[in-house]
Structure 1
């Protein structure tokens, strides 16, 4: 499956109720080895991006011997690392915009409270 489709799948997975990404991938026709690798890679990708919730997991012997696991691990790592970094960027931009808005409001209030000089 194309990386874009996997990304969309990850975004929609929480809407599926209690079904895990692993279960969703299997339901979509992926082999269990791919789903196992995706789970391990996803946690590893989040951890590599700096998330507190991610945990680096990689079954190295399986990664070297089991192509579906290796492909799933790589896809999971890339997708989840990218998703986490994107969320962090959005949070940063939102905070930065919020700070700018707050500063603008303060300046506006100061300007309105200054006495008017003139005639």
Structure 2
């Protein structure tokens, strides 16, 4: 029984290690689409971060394989949008943290003045 539990745990851990490509193929996407999505996604993240030269595109395949090009376009758009959204959220959170810190400082000063008559 203990061995059976270990095997199940190992299988669950290995299933969690699937790549996005493997997951897409398992969900029924054609391998060419999944290949394009993978390349487009990494390129979309690079574009959002303004990296130059980190794009991944098999141009010949993109021009001749509609599944690859469709996957590449979808991957690029989705991953670029996710990266931009994540960056905007981080900036928003930083601004809120700065405002919270400033408010706490102001409250401390006002409390000090109230107790010390300054």
Q: When the two structures are superposed, what TM-score results if normalisation uses the length of structure 1?
A: 0.80
Superposition map of 1:26-65 within 5 A:
26-50=25-49, 55-65=54-64
Q: Give the distance between the partners of 2:16 and 2:82, measured in 1 at CA.
A: 20
Q: Give the distance between the partners of 1:85 and 1:17, measured in 2 at CA.
A: 26
Q: Give the distance between the partners of 1:50 and 1:94, measured in 2 at CA.
A: 18
Superposition map of 1:62-101 within 5 A:
62-101=61-100
Bigger radius of gyration: 2
Q: Which runs of 5+ in 2 are unaligned?
A: 1-14
Q: Give the distance between the partners of 1:51 and 1:104, measured in 2 at CA.
A: 34
Moved over 2 A (4+): none
**1:22, 1:35 within 8 Å by CA — same for their partners in 2?**
yes
Structure with greater proportional helix content: 2
**1:44, 1:57 within 8 Å by CA — same for their partners in 2?**
yes
Q: When the two structures are superposed, what TM-score results if normalisation uses the length of structure 2?
A: 0.80
Superposition map of 1:10-21 within 5 A:
17-21=16-20
The number of aligned residues is 101
**1:51, 1:84 within 8 Å by CA — same for their partners in 2?**
no
